[in-house]
Structure 1
Amino acid sequence: MKNLKKILLIPLLQAMVIPAFAQKASWIWYPGDFDIYMSNVMQNRRTERGSFFPVFWKMDSHYVLVDFHKEFTLSEPEVVKLFVEGTYNVKIDGQALTGFPKSIRIPAGKHKLSLKVYSQATVPAIFVQGKTVISDESWLTTFEDKEWIDASGKTSDKSGTNFVSAGSWGLTDPYSLPSAFKLPVVKHTAVKTEKAGTGYIADFGKETFGFIKVNGLKGKGKLSLYYGESKEEALSTDKCETLDHLEIDLTNKKDSVMPLSKAFRYVNFQPENGVSADSISMLYEYAPVTERGSFKSSDAELNKIYDVAKYTFHLNTREFFIDGIKRDRWVWSGDAYQSYLMNYYSFFDAPTVKRTLLAQRGKDPVTAHINTIMDYSFYWFLGIYDYYKFTGDRKFVQDIYPRMQSLMTYIDGRKNKNGLLEWMPGDWIFIDWADKLSKDGEVSFEQLLYARNLETMALCAKLANDSENATKYEQQAKTLKAKIFDIYWNQSKHALVHSRVAGQPTENVTRYANMFGIFFDYFTPEQKIAVKEHVLLNDSINKITTPYMRFYELEALCAMGEQSYVLKEMKNYWGGMLKLGATSFWEEYNPDKKGTEHLAMYGRPFGKSLCHAWGASPIYLLGKYYLGVSPDSPGYETYTIEPHLGGLAWMEGKVPTANGDISVYMNKREIKASAATGKGKLRIKSKTKPVAKGAEIKEISKGMFEVTIEKGVEYLIKYSS
């Protein structure tokens, strides 16, 4: 019997070994389903003082029954391993195999391998591994096969089924089920402790995120942990935003890890009598992205701002791009859109952009705006075209285009009799956190975003080979843009007014539509100058206090060549947070506030997020408008470098692309540039014609010169500032 067991085990062990020469397979699923599933898991982790705090919007779910198939032509028979999450059947050339096979043999020749998977609790997913037969995004999948059988029992040859390319996160371990996906963790220890109450405060040195681990826990009674982004919050046992209460009954010492990750710098450890622990540490949870972009300059404070911005952004890069690590931890579209732009100048992590866009969009039918916010639906569209511009990934645009169409159909259906958008029941018009910001009537900012979205739809329709709708969207955009300037442009105020109420434009001028109009390039050159002087540089126009809209305000000023002014603003605004001890950047900063006023928001003393993704915008501004690198055609096939010192003595850095980095160094006399991809043009302002060995320099306008940058060549250009 012992020998018989050994003989029977040999084929099984061989079947579970994946040959080293095999191509790399990955887990696949219906596109967007795992993104939706994981975003549901992540966003429903939010708690406030131990209570579950769900999202405000409709949550979609994955399809529970999914069909996968692919055709292969094999030169020789092949043994293929099957790993499946769910209940499944397997067919070869339409013939079902018995049971739930873990390994199958496919004969030589052309064959169609099909798996149909059912799973209610988790996403139906498959992992197929052979020598050449592997699961990847080239497989086709559907959630409704529309098959039918006639009276003879013959299955239909043509079912009208819409098959789409499979989705994947590149998970390549067949033994780790997708539903068990977790971000990696690493142990960190507190930098110091300080006695407080019956326990102590542990300081981890800076803002961080992860799971608290109580080491050597023992005794019987209650243990409370109070978390704080600030020391004041951790000490406030009745007002801190997050906490853990545990009932302990342990005779022997045991290490215990808290079930949910938290954001904190300080942890207030408070045991009852009879409960003790040796120490507390943490398992720092992080997204394993590569820091590719860089920036360094002659200004030490600016360098610190850049480093803290990048750390802030990394903390908010998780399975998806989230808003903030303490409070919401949700996928807000407006926050995510800025994260995409920061990402293109730091990690260049394309998969997380795609995951976030798919998770936000969810499923049809559309019953509300994304996150219920009108402007957040618009940011979603802009994120898709920017993704194409920076990555050149046309296939993703083609795959997601039907979901763009259905959302745009919903938006078009909510226009009023004037063909404009205004508040309707179920809508939240956000724009920004600002006191006394009117959302009444037809707000110009919303119409401006709507026009840009129609232009985006036209561009994406062309990429999806939908020429009929491309023409329709182009005409809609043209008509709407003309209407915007007819209604909202006020010549005496040199600006777009904020809104129209009851058919009459208001006199109120705000910064929002005006600054977006600049970098959307909707204004004439004369209008741009007027808007800069009468709105952006006008202190009588209500100031912006959130990093969220400071992002766009400073971008508009940079687009107008005001890098010296913006440098001072960055140092004042983000430098102001650093001077108050910030180790990550906040959701809101008002320099007029004092002391603990900086910690309060939403009517709560510690409601403000002190680590918010939208606070990291210097990453984008420094990469695009100081190093001056931006794509001119998709995927940096062509690009421009137009560096601006903005008052710095020197600066250097790298901007990542899908195919390598673009490097720039600049001081007041010379510029060094090189690129691993594409064909670029370096533009320089110089009093005299620059000199560059081995490069042709041409003057494109008075005092403006251009050098062609070829891939793999290092350039040194001397100029006169």
Structure 2
Amino acid sequence: MRMYSLFIGLLLSLVCGLAGAQGTATWIWSPGDFEIWLSNRMQAQRVERDVAWPPFWRLYNHQPQVNFIRQVDLAAPEDIDIAVEGIHNVAIDGRFVHGDQRHVRVPAGKHTLNLQVYNAASPPAVFVQGRTIRSDASWSVGPRPGAPTAHAAHWNLAAPDTPPSGYRLPTREIPAVAVTRAEGAILVDFGRETTGFVKLKNLAGSGKIALYYGESKEEALSVEGAETLDRFTLADHRGDFVAPTSRAMRYVNIRFDGGIHIDDVALLYEYLPVAHRGTFKSSDDELNRIWDVAQRTLELNTREFFIDGVKRDHWVWSGDAVQTYLMNYYTFFDSDSVKRTTWALRGADPVDMHINTILDYSLYWFIGIRDYYQYTGDADFVKSVYPRMTTLMDFVLARRNANGMLEGLPGDWVFVDWADMPKDGELAVIQLLFARSLEAMADCAALAHDDAKAATYRQLAADLKAKIMAAFWDPRRQVFIHGRKDGRIDPLVTRHPNMFALMFGYLDDAQAAAVRRNVLTSDTVPKITTPYMRFYELAALAESGQQRYVTGQIKDYWGGMLRAGATCFWEQYDPKVEGVARYAMYGKPFGMSLCHAWGASPLYLLGKYYLGVKPTQPGYAAYVVEPDLGGLAWIDGKVPTPHGDIAVYADAKTIRVTPVAGQGVLRFTSASAPRSDGGTIRRIGERRYELALEGGKAVTVARTK
């Protein structure tokens, strides 16, 4: 069965790879170049009020010179049209083509076509269109003639007049929900969190205009406290005026001189087109609303890249991104955004710092790539990014201490969470993430046919896990302790190492039960107040079958934000903080993000652990559907996969599944012998059954609870 699953996975990967290499022409570039360049452009746009605030970590640049290579075998001469971003030349079989470099005739026969492009301002890129010769993933790229090559990278820029350097997100106009006017002021409410360019319709006159943006009404009205603002001076303007910078807001407070008249206000909503494939409904209206608001939160933060929050940073953070990837697999299944974000985070070589300067964020980056392969089966991407995986892991390994563990060194930020806890020395949670990242490296090395490194990484992971249990597992209290510094154990118990060990499957049944009892469901261990770490805490509980408890936690925490007026989910939520004080963070009255990607984790939790859909072989070559009501009367939804959407309905008496291609299995419980309208049900344990699924054939199971 395992060999069959692997065969299906390889076949699906091959089919997908061939599909990506055929069809119409597209702009191509060297892997990572466009993503690095675009992320630099986006991240440098962050401001705090009227002060520019680019990232504080090292920014890499694209390669200024790239060779694009294609082997052709033509039955007849072929004319090709060439569009280029940069200075270029064309060579056929090593000989320059003289004359017109944008319209070239390639002779019949076998030839090597080479385009050399130089561009220091933006990534070297080419668009080639002929009858059979087209720029696509079948081209190779390298830094110079004769150097090692990789497959060309591309996205959805499929016209010669849409070059990479001109890429912009699309917009569409949306109206205001409410407009309140006063002398020299207009307060606009767009009804919910959004992002885009404010449009002042039929503006006439001369004078100064100031726009104060707010995720809350209080922020927009705070002229001195609003995190983002724009100021303009106009002279004898007539017609519509569009603010030149996209901002996040629900409200905008427009202040203007008496010599200016504004007829109306709208927004050019800026967005990345995504397919809303994942769905979830249940018998609980509040939970349904939570799913909808989580989807809106993720949609707003899915832009050129997965960003942390639309208002404040516009930066790409690895810890935020690795969670967003998982949420995406249960909603949009936008693999291109995952790939772009992965490249942008890594940057280029040489490596002289952790990603975002944060030790744990480097470790999440490796884990995110392994997750990507599991959900998509895209081996080509893993192979393309693997060289940069190895150089980053070399950097990480070189920073181990004498015990073979990681701790913060000068220049490192050990983040973990915003929680108030010691972060120096050897933290148990960091070592657990390190072990997981080594396992991810081993899997990716094997995929890249780097067998020696795969064996090395796997052994390092096994050795480290043994050290972790010896150093940090307290057999008396049956918990992981927090850490060790200078050889001295810190007996503090925090949720973080315990939930990761449970989620990663590093505990036996008795240890897992003890962690659930003594830590994750205990009121004596300090609570987590950010959605960031609640993601992992609730995933760990759901992973061990605690969905009924998780349902209550989701309704209490995310439902609490809804009851507080949230239209997207927040960076942090503490129910004990009320009123305008809940918007404060980082020592600023409106410093907290009210639309933060890591707040959308119910998308992942409800898709994976309630609808119960997850791949067991890369790219859903094999998968399981194991619905869990979690205390609800019924659940109904769809989970996207590379081969279509899996539809699931479940209540106490009935399960209906519409599967997709691949080796699917439905697993469920029943108090008595269940019946189905297709296939053969097999008993696998006490009250536990499974049924093989056939792609495209819906099946209904009758059961008793």
What TM-score range do you get, normalising by the shorter chain? over 0.9
Work out the CA distance in 1 between the residues paired with 2:235 and 2:677. Answer: 76
Work out the CA distance in 1 between the residues paired with 2:113 and 2:703. Answer: 63
Work out the CA distance in 1 between the residues paired with 2:330 and 2:58. Answer: 32
Are 2:142 and 2:149, in contact at CA under 8 Å, matched by a contact in 1? yes
1:21-47 CA-partner distances (Å, limit 9, x unpaired): x94000001110000011111111111
2:366 aligned with 1:355: no
2:462 aligned with 1:478: yes
Are 2:678 and 2:700, in contact at CA under 8 Å, matched by a contact in 1? no
2:401 matched residue in structure 1: 416
Q: Relative CO higher for 1 or 2, CA cutoff 8 Å, sep ≥ 6?
A: 2
**SS of corresponding position for 1:699:** strand
2:161 aligned with 1:184: no
Work out the CA distance in 2 between the residues paired with 1:606 and 1:599. Answer: 5
CA drift at 1:100? 5.0
CA drift at 1:639? 0.6
2:633 aligned with 1:664: no
Work out the CA distance in 2 between the residues paired with 1:128 and 1:122. Answer: 18
**SS of corresponding position for 2:471:** helix
Counterpart residue identity of residue 46, structure 1: R
Work out the CA distance in 2 between the residues paired with 1:504 and 1:395. Answer: 45
1:111 matched residue in structure 2: 111
Work out the CA distance in 2 between the residues paired with 1:214 and 1:195. Answer: 14
1:490 to 471, 474, 490: 474
Where structure 1 has 5 or more consecutive residues not aligned to the other structure, the ranges are 1-21, 146-158
1:453 to 437, 442, 458: 437
1:561-600 to structure 2, matched below 5 A, reads 561-600=545-584
TM-score calculated relative to the size of structure 2: 0.96
**SS of corresponding position for 1:246:** strand
Are 1:220 and 1:274, in contact at CA under 8 Å, matched by a contact in 2? yes
Work out the CA distance in 2 between the residues paired with 1:56 and 1:514. Answer: 32
1:662-701 to structure 2, matched below 5 A, reads 662-701=646-685
1:227 matched residue in structure 2: 213
2:316 aligned with 1:324: no
Work out the CA distance in 1 between the residues paired with 2:646 and 2:178. Answer: 41
1:554-565 to structure 2, matched below 5 A, reads 554-565=538-549
1:513 matched residue in structure 2: 497
1:592-631 CA-partner distances (Å, limit 9, x unpaired): 0010111110000000000000000000000000000000
Q: Indicate how the Cα distance of structure 1 residues 23 and 108 shifts in structure 2: closer, same or farther if over 3 A, else same.
A: farther
CA drift at 1:496? 0.8
1:32 matched residue in structure 2: 32
Work out the CA distance in 1 between the residues paired with 2:100 and 2:351. Answer: 37
Are 2:25 and 2:129, in contact at CA under 8 Å, matched by a contact in 1? yes
1:568-599 CA-partner distances (Å, limit 9, x unpaired): 11111111111111110000000000101111
CA drift at 1:502? 1.4
CA drift at 1:99? 4.3
Work out the CA distance in 2 between the residues paired with 1:274 and 1:398. Answer: 61
CA drift at 1:440? 1.6
2:688 aligned with 1:704: yes
Counterpart residue identity of residue 634, structure 1: P
Work out the CA distance in 2 between the residues paired with 1:30 and 1:166. Answer: 6
Work out the CA distance in 1 between the residues paired with 2:350 and 2:589. Answer: 40
2:219 aligned with 1:208: no
Are 2:326 and 2:604, in contact at CA under 8 Å, matched by a contact in 1? yes
4+ runs of 1 displaced by more than 4 Å?
A: none
Work out the CA distance in 2 between the residues paired with 1:682 and 1:65. Answer: 52
Larger CA deviation: 197-206 vs 662-671: 197-206
Are 2:323 and 2:601, in contact at CA under 8 Å, matched by a contact in 1? yes
Q: Percent of pairs identical after alignment? A: 51
2:427 aligned with 1:443: yes
2:526 to 529, 539, 542: 542
1:126-275 to structure 2, matched below 5 A, reads 126-145=126-145, 159=146, 161-196=147-182, 198-250=184-236, 252-275=237-260
**SS of corresponding position for 1:680:** strand
**SS of corresponding position for 2:153:** coil
Are 2:353 and 2:411, in contact at CA under 8 Å, matched by a contact in 1? yes
Counterpart residue identity of residue 133, structure 1: I
CA drift at 1:419? 1.1
Counterpart residue identity of residue 496, structure 1: F
Work out the CA distance in 2 between the residues paired with 1:99 and 1:473. Answer: 53
**SS of corresponding position for 1:207:** strand
Counterpart residue identity of residue 123, structure 2: V
2:122 aligned with 1:122: yes
CA drift at 1:492? 1.9
1:390 to 375, 396, 410: 375
2:595 aligned with 1:608: no
**SS of corresponding position for 1:518:** helix
Are 2:272 and 2:303, in contact at CA under 8 Å, matched by a contact in 1? yes
CA drift at 1:98? 1.8
Counterpart residue identity of residue 492, structure 1: R
Work out the CA distance in 2 between the residues paired with 1:398 and 1:200. Answer: 54
CA drift at 1:197? 5.3
Larger CA deviation: 219-228 vs 323-332: 219-228
Counterpart residue identity of residue 132, structure 1: T
2:624 to 621, 636, 640: 640
2:647 aligned with 1:653: no
Counterpart residue identity of residue 49, structure 1: R
Counterpart residue identity of residue 703, structure 1: R
Work out the CA distance in 1 between the residues paired with 2:190 and 2:258. Answer: 25
Are 1:234 and 1:240, in contact at CA under 8 Å, matched by a contact in 2? yes
CA drift at 1:218? 2.1
**SS of corresponding position for 2:639:** strand
Are 2:35 and 2:344, in contact at CA under 8 Å, matched by a contact in 1? yes
**SS of corresponding position for 2:37:** helix
CA drift at 1:417? 1.2
1:131-154 CA-partner distances (Å, limit 9, x unpaired): 100001111111133xxxxxxxxx
Work out the CA distance in 2 between the residues paired with 1:462 and 1:177. Answer: 36
2:346 aligned with 1:364: no
2:434 aligned with 1:464: no
Q: Which has the larger radius of gyration?
A: 1
**SS of corresponding position for 2:323:** helix
Work out the CA distance in 2 between the residues paired with 1:274 and 1:259. Answer: 22
**SS of corresponding position for 2:120:** coil
Counterpart residue identity of residue 188, structure 1: I
1:74 matched residue in structure 2: 74
1:308-319 to structure 2, matched below 5 A, reads 308-319=293-304
Work out the CA distance in 1 between the residues paired with 2:663 and 2:571. Answer: 38
2:18 matched residue in structure 1: none
Work out the CA distance in 2 between the residues paired with 1:90 and 1:110. Answer: 16
1:7 matched residue in structure 2: none
TM-score calculated relative to the size of structure 1: 0.94
Q: Indicate how the Cα distance of structure 1 residues 232 and 469 shifts in structure 2: closer, same or farther if over 3 A, else same.
A: same
Work out the CA distance in 1 between the residues paired with 2:436 and 2:182. Answer: 55
CA drift at 1:361? 0.5
- Superposed CA RMSD: 1.0
- Number of residue pairs matched by the alignment: 684
Work out the CA distance in 1 between the residues paired with 2:46 and 2:204. Answer: 29
Work out the CA distance in 1 between the residues paired with 2:23 and 2:681. Answer: 48
Where structure 2 has 5 or more consecutive residues not aligned to the other structure, the ranges are 1-21
Counterpart residue identity of residue 529, structure 2: T
